[in-house]
Structure 1
Amino acid sequence: MHIGIAEDDQDQQDLLRLWLEEANHTVAAHGTVAQYIDALKKERFDMLLIDWMLPDGTGADLLQWARGNLGWETPILVLTARDDEETVVSALQAGADDYVVKPPKPAELLARVAALGRRVRSGALPVLRLGAFEIDIQRQRLSLDGEPVMLTQKEFDLSAYLFQNPGKLLSRDHLLNKIWGLNAEVDTRTVDTHVSRLRKKLGLDGSKGWKLVPVYGVGYRFERIEQPA
């Protein structure tokens, strides 16, 4: 798996990298909330490993951003120097899947990473909750502000794929192959037609917190729009 680490202590960061790379994972590590969020906007990770206390914020800040922008598909493991009930409950309520008390023991850490990885690979399909939207992939349902939205099968498939890949530049050919298949007898104009329908049905003009932005000559980027306080 490709794992993103948020840890400001360089010695701890190096140790985590060593253990994870020896277990055949790849790692990208950052020391602040700001750096980590910037990385999450540019890079896709299979799992996030987050220290609870960082120089410019907390693990809760990162969890809130990750769950709000990336959804609930990506497993998140929190590292905390405190094992009191209040801290653990706060981490889990903020969106963590599991936690490890610092200093971490290598065998325990790798076991928890492996367990979260198995959970993702098990085929359990997530319910994505992002702002006003809820996408139940298992039941093929999408709700906006708590109300179900009537979508065709391809509209649902496209919307679910977009919500699982926020911030990524997605070409028309890529979307065509992912949603309709390599051998589909349709062209890229079909993608544009479905994008237009989703914009209208789901309010993907920024008014509902998300915007489907055209990238000239390439395709689209699905972006989270910061709402005014």
Structure 2
Amino acid sequence: MRIALLEDEYEQAQRVQTILCERGHHCDTFPTGQGFLSAVLHRSYDLLILDWQIPDMTGIDVLASVRAQLNWQIPVVFLTQRDSEQDIVRALDAGADDFLAKPARAAELVARINALARRSNPDAEKEVLRYGPFEVNTQQRSIILHGEELTLTDKDFDLTLFLFQNQGRLLTREMLLERVWGLARDINTRTVDTHMSRLRRRLGLNPENGFRIKTIYQRGYRLEAIEATDSGSVVETLNPDRAANG
């Protein structure tokens, strides 16, 4: 998993990063709330770890910004010296998924993170995934729509699967380049736009099939579930994970 850690104490940040990296995770560390939020809003992370007391804002404020601006259920863990019942309840009520007191025991930290990852992505080990009329076979790397297999390149399949697994979430071009193509985030390329345009046609993303790729001006893309009304107009399906922006 890709994990973002908000921790202003250098030694503590290095300790947690080492624990996670030794267990096969990738962990980026940030000493300030503003730096953390800037990264989280433009990169792709699977889980966030927050300290409560940081120099420029509180961890609760950071969590509020994450939920308000991303508005999707990325797992969030508090790792902090504040461990009173009142603090724990406040963090959980604010949208945190778990709460650990410093110093975290290595095995417990990893076990809790892995448990959250399983709960947040229950389809991870499934071979066949269904999204409306689309049937995605992760082993055969094929996509069937209304009984017919679609003609897709390997990269088209990877991009389609990532879109479906993150439907309702704003995906920046940098995020897509990193997670689908494995390219550095600072590369200036129209590759993403070209593939998105092609996918719209090849997947038949329209109200009849229940999905559309929406372009978010100067930000990226979002796959949205939609439905057609009797009058032919389009209604966006309510989705708790849908990004607030755009």
TM bin, normalised by shorter chain, reads 0.5 to 0.7
Match of 2:196 in 1: 175
Give CA deviations for 1:98-141 in whole Å, capped at 9, x if unaligned.
Answer: 111111111111111111111123139xxxxxxxxxxxxx99xx
Distance 1:78 1:7 in 2: 10
CA drift at 1:168: 3.9
Match for 2:170 among 165, 172, 184? 165
Give CA deviations for 1:43-96 in whole Å, capped at 9, x if unaligned.
Answer: 110110111111111111111111112223211111121221110011111111
SS in 2 for 1:113: helix
Distance 2:31 2:200 in 1: 37
Gaps of 5+ in 1: 125-137, 140-157, 188-193, 199-210
CA shift in 2, pair 1:163/1:27, >3 Å: same
CA drift at 1:212: 2.5
With the length of structure 1 as denominator, give the TM-score of the two structures. 0.62
Q: Is contact 1:214-1:221 (8 Å) kept? A: no
CA shift in 2, pair 1:102/1:178, >3 Å: farther
Distance 2:199 2:203 in 1: 14
Give CA deviations for 1:142-169 in whole Å, capped at 9, x if unaligned.
Answer: xxxxxxxxxxxxxxxx899663124446
Q: Is contact 1:166-1:224 (8 Å) kept? A: no
Match of 1:17 in 2: 17
Distance 1:86 1:174 in 2: 49
Q: Is contact 1:69-1:166 (8 Å) kept? A: no
Residues 1:213 and 2:234 are matched in the alignment: no
Distance 2:86 2:70 in 1: 26
Percent identity of equivalent pairs: 31
CA shift in 2, pair 1:75/1:185, >3 Å: closer
SS in 1 for 2:8: coil
Q: Is contact 1:51-1:80 (8 Å) kept? A: yes
After TM superposition, list the pairs within 5 Å mapping 1:146-161 onto structure 2.
none
Distance 2:113 2:203 in 1: 42
Higher relative contact order (CA 8 A, sep 6+): 2
SS in 1 for 2:217: strand
Distance 2:99 2:173 in 1: 29
Indicate the RMSD between aligned Cα atoms, in angstroms.
Answer: 3.5
Residues 1:47 and 2:50 are matched in the alignment: no
Gaps of 5+ in 2: 125-130, 133-162, 177-191, 206-211, 223-242
CA shift in 2, pair 1:63/1:168, >3 Å: farther
Distance 1:160 1:3 in 2: 18
After TM superposition, list the pairs within 5 Å mapping 1:121-132 onto structure 2.
121-123=121-123
Q: Is contact 1:6-1:32 (8 Å) kept? A: yes
CA drift at 1:178: 5.7
Alignment coverage as a number of residue pairs: 170
